[in-house]
Amino acid sequence: MQYRIESDVLGRVRVPKDAYYGSETQRVVDNFKISGEKISWKMIEAYIIIKKAAAISNMKIGKLDKKRGRAIIMACNEVLSGNLSDQFVTDIFQAGAGTNINMNVNEVLANRAIEMLKGKKGDYRIVHPNDHVNMSQSTNDTFPSAIQISCYLASKNSLLPALRKLETALAKKSREFAKTIKVGRTHLQDAVPMTLGQEFSGYCGAISHAIDFLENNYVALLELPLGGTAVGTGLNAGKRYAAEAVKEINRMTGAKFFITDNRFKIMQGQQSILSISDVLKEAAISISKIANDLRLLTSGPRTGISEITLPAILPGSSIMPGKINPSMAEMMNMVCFEVIGLSHANDIAAESAQLELNVFTPIIAYNLLFSINILSNAINALADRCISGIKTNKKIIEQHLSMDLSIATALTPYISYAKAATIVRTAYLKHKSIKEVCLDMKILDKKTLDRLLDPRREVFGK
C-alpha cells in the first residue's frame, strides 16, 4: 500500500494514499481496534446534513468564502448520494464524545473538496477539516444534534410505520377471532372464558400505546443544541449561524427542527435522547410479551396448548423430522432482549455524564440507531411472516373449553363461592366437567345449568 504523510499536533502520520480521511482518523484506526463495529450510516448522513447546512450558513453570514463553501457542499452531496461510505472507519468504541467521528467526517469532506478544487489530498491549505468544514461548530454541539436528527428520521420513517403495520395486523386478527370463545388463563392456569379476539385486542392495544408513546416523545428530538460549540456558549459561532443552519437542515429533511433556548441542558445531559431509549425499551417489553404468548398458545402440537397455529417458515430441528418451531416469535424475543439491554447501557452512559459534556454519547448513538433498525426490521417480519398467517385450532379450543373448571365462577351468585369451589375440586379429581358434577350432585336443573354455564353468556352477557 502506498501512503502519504500528514502532520498534526502529535507529529507525523502515515495515511493510505487513496484514503479521504486524514491523520486524526488514522490515529483512531491504529489505536482503537476494538469491535470492528462502525457507527450507523444514518448517523453519518445526519452529520453530513449538518456539515452542508453549516457551510451554507457560514457563507450566508460571510464567514466562509464561496469557493471553499461550494466545494464542501459538493463533497457533502456526493457523500449523501452514497459515495465514499467506506471512508467512515472509526470503531464505535473510541475516545469520548464523538470527536473521532466528527473529525472523520471533517477530513473526508475536506479532502474531497480539495480534489474538487484541483488540489491533492492532505493539502489542507486549500480546505482545512477544522478551519473550514468544522467552522462555527464543535463535536460537542454537532454530535448530539446528529444523534437527534438521525434518531428522529429513523423513528419517523422506519419504526413508526413498522409499529403501525403490526397494530393493523393484530387488529385484523382481533376482528377475525371475535367470536372464537376459548379458555382464559391467569397464572398459567385455566380462567373464565374469553374470546381469542379479546386476547388479540390486548396485544393490539399494547402496540397502540407504543405508537402513542413514540409520537409523544420523538418530537423532543427536534430541539437541537446546534451553535453551542464547545460548552454551550456559542464561542466562535456567528450570531445568525445556528438559525440559518437549522433552516437548511429543515429544507433537506422536511422536518421542523429548531434551536433550543438552553443548549447547556442538551450538551450536559441527554433527556430527549433517553426518552427515545425508553420508548424503544417499553415497545420491546410489550412486543416480547406478545411473542411469549404466541409461543405458548402454539405450543404442542400434540401435548401443549396448541390453540393457534403460526405459519411454518422453516424446519425446526436438525434431528427430529418434521418438527416446526415458532421461529419468528423466537427471533422477535431475541431482538427485544437486545433492545432492552442496550437501553440499560444508554441509561448508564447518560448517568455517567460529567459537568458540561457527556463523553459516552458514541455508544448511545450506536445503541439507539441499532435498536431502531433491528426493532423496525423484526416488527415488519413478525407482522408479515407470522401475525398475518395465524390460524385457530377450533377443535382443540372447544375441547379445552368443555373441560374448563373456572366456568363454575358463573354459579357463585346462585350457590355460593364455597359450594362452587367444592364442585370444582370434585370435577378436577373425577376428571369430569362442571356440568356433569352439578347434575350428579343435583345442583340446579339441567336447563338452568345449560344457561348459566354457556360460555357465550359469560363472554357476551347473553
184: β partners:
191
pTM: 0.95
Q: pLDDT digit string (tens) for 418-451?
A: 999 999 999 999 999 999 999 999 999 999 999 9
Q: pLDDT digit string (tens) for 109-138?
A: 999 999 999 999 999 999 999 999 999 999
Could you check whether the bond before residue 16 is cis, i.e. omega within 30 degrees of 0? no
Rounded-to-integer distance, Cα 208 and Cα 411, Å: 36
Contact 46, 150 (CB under 8 A): yes
Rounded-to-integer distance, Cα 408 and Cα 412, Å: 7
pLDDT grade, residue 462 (50/70/90)? low
Q: pLDDT digit string (tens) for 277-333?
A: 999 999 999 999 999 999 999 999 999 999 999 999 999 999 999 999 999 999 999
Residue type, 302: R
DSSP 314: S
Interaxial angle between packed helices 41-60 and 361-385, expressed in degrees from 0 to 180 and rounded to the nearest 10: 120
Contact 107, 24 (CB under 8 A): yes
Report helix, strand and coil shares of the chain as percent, to nearest 5.
65, 10, 30
Please determine, for residue 413, whether its predicted confidence score (pLDDT) is greater than 80: yes
Q: Taking residues 166-187, what's their average pLDDT?
A: 98
91: β partners:
38
Q: pLDDT digit string (tens) for 17-44?
A: 999 999 999 999 999 999 999 999 999 9
Share of residues in the chain with pLDDT > 90 (%): 97
Q: Give residue 448's pLDDT.
A: 95
Q: Which residues are catalytic?
A: 187, 317
User: Domains plus CATH for the chain?
Assistant: 3-135 (1.10.275.10), 148-220+263-395 (1.20.200.10), 405-460 (1.10.40.30)
pLDDT grade, residue 199 (50/70/90)? very high
- Average pLDDT of the chain, as a whole number: 96
